Structure 1
Amino acid sequence: MNTRSRGPAFLILFAALMAGAGNGISMIAFPWLVLQRNGSAVEASVVAMAGTLPLLVSTVIAGAAVDYIGRRRVSMISDLLSALSVAAVPVVALIFGADAVNVAVLAALAALGAAFDPAGMTARETMLPEAAKRAGWTLDHANSVYEAVFNLAYIVGPGIGGMLIATLGGIETMWVTAAAFGCSIAAVSLLKLEGTGKPDRSALPDRVWAGVVEGLKFVWNLKVLRTLAFIDLAATGLYMPMEAVLFPKYFTDRNEPAQLGWVLMALSIGGLIGALSYAVLAKFVKRRTTMLIAVITLGVAMTIIAFLPPLPVILSLSAVVGFVYGPIQPIYNYVMQTNAPQHLRGRVVGVMGSLAYAAGPLGLLLAGPLADAAGLQATFLALSVPMLLLGLVAIGLPSLRDLDRDRQP
């Protein structure tokens, strides 16, 4: 019998914090390195898209890797490869000169880093139910704290990233990103938890592709998961260009890297508070209601931001968006963890993640040229109006009522 201990949960949370902080720094550094060359939103979109395209495929594969190779091992391998991909930026500059860090190099390295990230995130998420049980936490509490830590990472990451770029420069900032991934590896290497080692292959199909298909079928046949996947797909496609291209373009034109970091920090501070509030909020507000409020609020906030108000207004709206969206990922995690059997958990998380990323590249592909041709305000509006419509459509979806059914993992 396992004794109660919060140690495994804290190690997972620390690993998520460090890996998330590394990604948060990258969110600032990659577009900044592109935009400081010529200010082109199109080229920034190319690099941002390179950082999202691999996610569509790699997230599905990551889920299968977790189920077939093992959660702890996949987390460590993923973070190692991510660290190497970002460390390659200053290495290339050191060997070939700063001019060698061009759009093609940045796009290639952003793609490599993105290809490895989902495996680590999936592995850590799938370890939460066992860690929660060992700590004596409810699953809602564990997911709430985990997502709060993830948001905290995106407070620390962009904030540090903006300051480092201002003091050291974008290229040297990548060393800090690599070090953050190294800290995540160290934490997971100390983790001892049931279900995280070598998996039982007897419950898995012999061929990995057959295992991936099994995960896809499970998500497709469960209406609530299928509906959540499509909502997340649409919301990601509409929101991602704002964070990855439009805000960087706006603040780069104004030569204000620190202010860009503040906006991304405001989003994450709101998300941190929202995620931490979820464990309490879930006792009083239905999951479906929470989700509908989040999508509609995001559409309203994006519409107001489209008129490019003063920075304090943008910061306030970003914090509100983060707050209402903070509980969403804990809700998604709960639905996946309580519906998927243990041997399928990695693949279900992977499938849901890959579908969420599917629309991202299309949104980025359209947003860059539109921003250069029509301006930031028109591009913001082109994204915010469909987001409002998405919230209204979601109100009438009956499958979302399954969000309020309590299950055990």
Structure 2
Amino acid sequence: MTAVERVEVPLSRNRNYTLLWLGQACAEIGFSASMIAFPLLVLALTGSAAASGLVLAADAVAQLVVGLPAGALVDRWDRRRVMLVCEAANVVALGSLVAVIVAGAATVPHMVAVAVVLGVCRALFEPAEDASLPSLVPDSQLATAISLNAARSSIGQMAGNALGGALFAVGRWVPFLLDLVTHFISFVALAFIRMPKRAPRTEDSHLGREIIEGMRWVLAHREVRVTAVCALALNFFFSAYYLVVIVLAERGGVSAAEIGIMAAMLGVGGIVGSLIAPFLHRVLSPYVSIVGVFWVLTALAPLATLTDQGLVLGALFAGMALLAPTANTTITTHQLLLTPDELRGRLSGVMSVVVGGAAALGPALGGVLVEAVSPDTAVLVAAAGMAVVTLLVTINPTLRRYPGKSEREEATP
């Protein structure tokens, strides 16, 4: 029995978890501000939309390319040290960017390099944090901790998006300075976290073999494999749908400010959903928790064709986001408790690549749809894709038997 299992305190009094949560809440705000400011900076310097896309693509591609090796390295190295090094690298990279912007010497290659550093650090940090969570909180509080982390991400994205544009108007370097400061705060918070020592690895192994071992573990466990496919399909079609609805709103005369509110309402739905996720996780079966989010999306998605009012479309976004944290809490809690500690980084790396790849490809489908057909038809095509996935998820026997808390306890010797 670990120390975290022997002494169970409320999460609000769990010093290590609170430090990690607060530090990352700050870093999420800074990161989102930078992601809004990056294309604005490139456009201001070059006037090229293609160059703006290149900088944002550099961050996303870096995360995808490094995702699988990052998970294996997180399982090999000290996870707290990985997180500290990532935050230090973020501070250095952002400091260099602030300096060249202030000096009037910013270039696109430099911005691409900074975006790559941010993407690589994110690819390493996220599996390190995910894999560390079960050692920081007791099993009985893991679902609540996961839902609070989801709320943290939604709050950070909303606040960062709002601050990014406003601070860029103050000065082109200001959003990146904010990002630098928030990552420094996260670094300091991590420095005071105390994590249980992991058993040292005695065998020499090849990184490629370790990556394959992690992928085999995911593929060997049917419920993990099935939920990974579900996450891929849902994120693919919803990312396409999101872009299509934004285009539908813009062509319907919705102002840029109102479109921003629409996007923010998606975050509001995520925050509210994260706050109610621990309760829903306790009262709903795992099958209902997972399938419910698919049916909500399937029911709400076609309604976008009935209105071009920005606030109504924003309300649809909020409704769609409401149950996603409950499904995520159910799936992630089970996966972390099922997975041996020495494989948790690789599990997170695989899932990040699956979800990130779908989120990157989905907008490409959305762009093709809005060019090929009318926005209303594009909405219905994306909604039909989600409906097909929902039907397959509903009848899937693995999800019908998805293990809950009692089944995990019975399986534990």
Name the structure 2 match of 1:64. Answer: 72
The residue correspondences of 1:2-13 to structure 2 (distance < 5 A) are 2=3, 6-13=14-21
Q: Which amino acid aligns with 2:402?
A: L
**Structure index of larger Rg:** 2
Structure 2: gaps spanning 5 or more residues: none
1:123 and 2:123 are equivalent in the alignment: no
**2:147 is paired with a residue of what secondary structure?**
helix
Q: Separation in 2 of the partners of 1:177 and 1:355? A: 27
Structure 2 residue aligned with 1:140? 143
Residues 213-362 of structure 1: matches in 2 within 5 Å?
A: 213-241=212-240, 247=246, 258-305=257-304, 309-362=308-361
Do 1:52 and 1:360's aligned partners in 2 also have CA atoms closer than 8 Å? no
Identity of aligned residues (%): 22
CA shift in 2, pair 1:304/1:174, >3 Å? farther
Partner of 1:200: 200
1:10-159 to 2 correspondences below 5 Å: 10-33=18-41, 46-97=54-105, 100-101=107-108, 106-133=111-138, 137-159=140-162
Cα distance in structure 2, aligned partners of 1:44 and 1:252: 22
1: distance between equivalents of 2:349 and 2:248?
A: 31
Contact 1:159–1:258 at 8 Å: present in 2 too? no
- Residues 254, 309 of structure 2: 8 Å contact kept: no
Equivalent pair of 1:162/1:261 in contact (CA under 8 Å): no
> Unmatched 5+ residue regions in structure 1?
none
Q: Which residue of 1 aligns with 2:182?
A: 180
Which has the bigger relative contact order, CA under 8 A and spacing at least 6? 1
Give the aligned residue type for 2:78: G
Given that 2:74 and 2:124 are in contact with CA atoms closer than 8 Å, whether structure 1 keeps it comes out as yes
Cα distance per residue 1:111-170 (max 9 Å; x no partner): 43222212212211222212212xx852222222222222222232223224324x3255
What amino acid is the match of 1:201?
R
Between the aligned partners of 2:170 and 2:246, the Cα distance in structure 1 is 22
Whole-Å separation in 1 of the counterparts to 2:374 and 2:31? 28
Cα separation, 2, equivalents of 1:96 and 1:47: 18
Q: Distance in 2 between matches of 1:112 and 1:219?
A: 28
1:403 aligns with 2:402: yes
Letter in 1 for 2:121: F
The change in CA–CA distance for 1:112 and 1:314 in structure 2 (over 3 A counts) is: farther
Any conservation in 2 of the 1:35–1:249 contact (CA below 8 Å)? Answer: no
CA 1:355–1:229: 2 relative to 1, 3 Å: same
Contact 2:136 2:195 in 1 (8 A): yes
- Contact 2:155 2:267 (C-alpha < 8 Å) held by counterparts: yes
CA distance in 2 between counterparts of 1:54 and 1:60 reads 11
Cα–Cα, structure 1 residues 159 and 131, in superposed 2: closer, same or farther, change >3 Å? same
Alignment RMSD: 3.4
How far, CA to CA, are the matches of 2:264 and 2:323 in structure 1? 15
Shift of 1:191: 0.2
Write the distance in 2 (CA, Å) between the matches of 1:388 and 1:87: 46
* Contact 1:162 1:258 (C-alpha < 8 Å) held by counterparts: no
TM-score for both structures, normalised by structure 2: 0.83
| CA shift for structure 1 position 62 | 2.0
Given that 2:285 and 2:404 are in contact with CA atoms closer than 8 Å, whether structure 1 keeps it comes out as: no
**Structure 1 residue 209 displacement after superposition:** 2.0
Q: Are the equivalent residues in 1 in contact too, given 2:259–2:310 (CA < 8 A)? A: no
CA distance in structure 2 between the partners assigned to 1:382 and 1:372 by the alignment:
13
1:190 CA displacement? 0.7
Which amino acid in structure 2 is aligned with residue 342 of structure 1? D
Distance in 1 between the 2:309 and 2:111 partners? 32
**In structure 1, what residue type is equivalent to 2:23?**
A
| SS state at 2:308 partner | coil
TM-score, normalised to structure 1, is: 0.84
May I ask how many residue pairs the two structures share in their alignment?
399
Aligned partners of 1:18 and 1:184 also within 8 Å: yes
More deviation in 295-304 or 15-24? 295-304
The CA distance in 2 between the partners of 1:88 and 1:256, in whole Å, is 35
